[in-house]
Chain A
Amino acid sequence: MIARLGAAAGAVWLYGGSATAGAITGTIAGFMSATVRTATPLAFAALGETLCEQSGVINIGLEGVIIAGAFASLVGAGAAGLASGVALAAVAGAAIAALFGLFAVILRTDQIIAGTAVTLFGLGLTGTLYHWLYGSAGAALSIPTMRASPLPGLARIPVIGQALFDQSALTYAVYVIAPALWWWTYRTHAGLALRAVGENPDAARAAGVAPRIVQWWAVILGGVLGGIGGATLVLAQAGTFAEGMSAGRGFIAIAVVALGRWHPLGAAAAALIFGAAIALQFLFQSMGWPAPYQLFLALPYVVTLFVLAGAARGRRAPAALGRRDL
């Protein structure tokens, strides 16, 4: 049921011409470029989820948010261009997140079960709508895709120039959004209130902050960013949509948040690690590594497990994460 885009995405990556056979630096630069490109949707989702978890809510429905954003961007871009695709993705992501928020924040049901249901819902709904709107033939659609726009001057820096500054506009958006979220969380009273709600909602309430309202908006904003992450998958990576193409990225994003120690900049950095794991698969494929490439497909998930196991030390999760009795 949860199929993966796997081989198709790999082919697009190769076809995109970022990895030229031959020069090793070309391959490394290509690998790094692919890493940043693959990390972008993870970064969006993880930044949103960081905000959400800082307020004490863990959204396991993030996978549903991402796939909803991916599908919405297909519809939006096909109908009215790239900007509409991104905008519709943000709306769809917020809508799915609102469904989750209804159960987790307003009704205060178990966050994990509600999140699982929302993921199933998102995957099922997008699959159904996809078949219904595009028929069983599906895929071969012409929608505008976001090409890489090299930044003048910066893109010419050897190796990292291509990796960091020859990317799509959405990747550049991450470079802006991550520090902006960092500033907002640590340099405004609203950000202080957000973090207080995630640590001790009773203390926040006694100080005049309304915990549920804070959590609600954190969930919604997480949905907006997650939806845009889904749009990135379609518009800046694959150029098309397939059922289940999120392939567990929502859950990987949750691991990214933990690895990034619930800090926006940490999340962006941690997303790179997972982007590298995913890009590594395609690198091995392109290098003609013999046979069991399916095992390399499992690499990101194995890395996630290791990361979560090791991430127990250090900065703690928000103390009130997952609490229902507000």
Chain B
Amino acid sequence: MIPPALALTDITKRFGALVALDRASLSANWGTVHALLGENGAGKTTLMRVAFGMIRPDTGTVTVAGIAQRFGSPTDAIRAGIGMVHQHFALVGAMTVAENVALGSRGLYDASAAAARVRRLSADTGLSLDPGARVDALSIEEQQRVEVMKALARDARILVLDEPTAVLSPPRASELLQWLRRFADGGRAVVLITHNLREALSVADDVTVLRYGRTVLEAAASTVDADRLAAAMIGELREGLPNPLTPSPEGEGGSPLLKLRLDDEGLRPSTPLGKGVRGRGAVIVADHISIADDRGVVRIRDASFAVRGGEIVGIAALEGAGQHELLRALAGRAQAVAGTLATPGHVGFIPEDRQRDALVLSFPLYENVALRGAGRRRGRVRWRLVRAHTASIVAAHDIRPGNIATPASALSGGNQQKLVLARELDDNPSAVVADNPTRGLDIQATAAVHTRLRTARDRGAAVVLYTSDIDEMLALADRVLVIARGQVRGVVHDRDAVGRAMLGAE
């Protein structure tokens, strides 16, 4: 019996009081694609970081080809034949492909030899790249190819990829998956971290499911189906949380994500289309606008659309399509460089990076609440009123810790987001713009965000929402706009149509 290519056994890791991994295990064999599944925060990335030597486990063993290993750093893991392609690319934008691939070696650096190496790897693996191209000029798919090539350049026999298809359009994603299939068929091993069931089932030989840091399922892919996997991923709940498997009255409050996965491949949203568009006027009107990023490069050209009160418009786009810049402009935080953009005076804005753009972490809670409208305030600040308002927010939304004088840095991600949402939405603004509002949140917090957005819509606000999870977006949106190749277009509320449009196909 051949020992597995990579085996992690009984791995435990604590970060302070948080138990990230609780005797987790994974066993991947040579010649297979092994899918590692789990919800956000289940510990998938942490487990593979242990495998790659970036994190030292508290207990447990790591074996490669049956031999126990002790990794002190990624260098050791690389030497053992493991290569990792990270979710956020670790590339030096200002350097060329050849330089990025060569980074980390020893001795003299010869540019032409490095370029030749890249060409040889391109030919051997079918990942075509121009060695002399600057990495920050490449497309996302090409940048990912550089990441893969970096791992292969070190003779990786076990390739670990962390959510590689998150940034790819559906056709490119399947190309990558097919490539991984061929790579594994050549006798090596692939570990694919994903939260996407469909993807896992389409390409994997074996699956492992993590939940709350524990391995709850290890099976051959042929013996499980989507329902079984979903149940394992969500499973029994901790006390106090609503059970998303049982729909509550009117279908509200449950996890729409789960409902989508339990539906059939057509993935119909569980709330009826068109609800809420009660003939309200247009609140946000874009007329032939062009949007540039902060380096002055125009990302979106000649876009025209309107958002009415009482509807949620979902934005679908690949990473880097300009959606963040567009959302900032819709929220009134940036100017369009051409055309006319009409927005109401005070748009509620939930930015993607809440710690950088929504909160001053060193300020106490009440000063963070005072941020809203600070740009236009005149004269003295009525701190007594601000503090009272903050206290009522904290009580109403159960934000912990409840002392309004604590700095925002002391709050967890979920509580920080609750504070931001309350600050932005509690005064019923006529427009709300949300950029990845559920990023990094657990199921309960995510459901709370969805509820707040729906409530705002029901109260007549025009809501614009972008999330990188297409299914989440489709579940919430009444209408879909796609950004592709610098254009903004309305698209039918259908997953395949949206996927194709994101790529720029007609």
Contact = CB atoms under 8 A, between A and B. Distances in A.
Q: Is B a genuine binding partner of A?
A: yes
A189 B78 CA distance: 18
Given A192-B99, A208-B75, A199 B107 contact: no
Nearest to A192: B109
A200 B92 contact: yes
A206 B93 contact: no
B104 A209 contact: yes
Contacts of B86: 206
B108 A188 contact: yes
A185 to B, nearest CB: 10
B458 to A, nearest CB: 41
Contacts of B110: 187
A205 B91 CA distance: 10
B93 A192 contact: no
A319 B94 contact: yes
Given A200-B93, A203-B90, A319-B93, A187 B108 contact: yes
B92 A189 contact: no
Contact of A188 (B103, B104, B109): B109
B390 to A, nearest CB: 29
A99 interface: no
Given A192-B102, A208-B75, A199 B93 contact: yes
A196 interface: yes
Interface residues of A, number: 21
Nearest to B89: A203
A282 B290 CA distance: 55
B108 A200 contact: no
Contacts of A199: 92-95
A319 B95 CA distance: 11
A316 interface: yes
Nearest to A202: B90
Where chain B touches its partner, the secondary structure class is: loop
B456 to A, nearest CB: 34
B93 A207 contact: no
A196 B90 contact: no
Contacts of A181: none
B94 to A, nearest CB: 5
Contact of B95 (A188, A196, A208): A196
Interface in B285-302: none
Nearest to A316: B94
Given A196-B103, A206-B74, A208-B78, A189 B90 contact: no
B104 A193 contact: yes
B149 to A, nearest CB: 13
Nearest to A207: B104
In which size bucket is the chain B interface? 20 to 34
Contacts of B108: 187-189
B106 interface: yes
A19 to B, nearest CB: 44
A131 B343 CA distance: 68
B211 interface: no
B107 A189 contact: yes
Contacts of A200: 90-93
A210 to B, nearest CB: 8
Interface in B36-76: 73-75
A65 B95 CA distance: 32
Contacts of B107: 188-189
Contacts of A249: none
B105 interface: yes
Contacts of B90: 200, 202-203, 205-207
B109 A187 contact: yes
B150 interface: yes
Contacts of A205: 74, 90
A192 B150 CA distance: 15
Contacts of A203: 89-92, 100, 103
A190 to B, nearest CB: 8
A208 B106 contact: no
Contacts of B91: 200, 203
B103 A204 contact: yes
Interface in B91-142: 91-95, 99-100, 102-110
Nearest to A183: B108
Contacts of B99: 192, 196
A115 interface: no
A204 B92 CA distance: 8
A223 interface: no
A195 interface: yes
A195 to B, nearest CB: 7
A301 B73 CA distance: 47
A191 interface: yes
A200 B105 CA distance: 17
A198 B82 CA distance: 26
Interface in A203-242: 203-209
Contacts of B150: 207
Q: Which of A188, A195, A207 has the most CB of B within 10 A?
A: A207
Q: Which 5 A-B pairs have the closest CB atoms?
A: A207-B104, A206-B90, A208-B75, A203-B90, A208-B104
Interface of A: 186-189, 191-193, 195-196, 199-200, 202-209, 316, 319
Given A192-B103, A196-B103, A203-B100, 9 more contacts: A192-B95, A196-B95, A199-B92, A203-B91, A204-B92, A204-B103, A206-B84, A209-B104, A319-B94
13 contacts: A186-B109, A189-B102, A189-B106, A189-B109, A199-B95, A203-B90, A203-B100, A206-B74, A206-B84, A208-B104, A209-B103, A316-B94, A319-B93
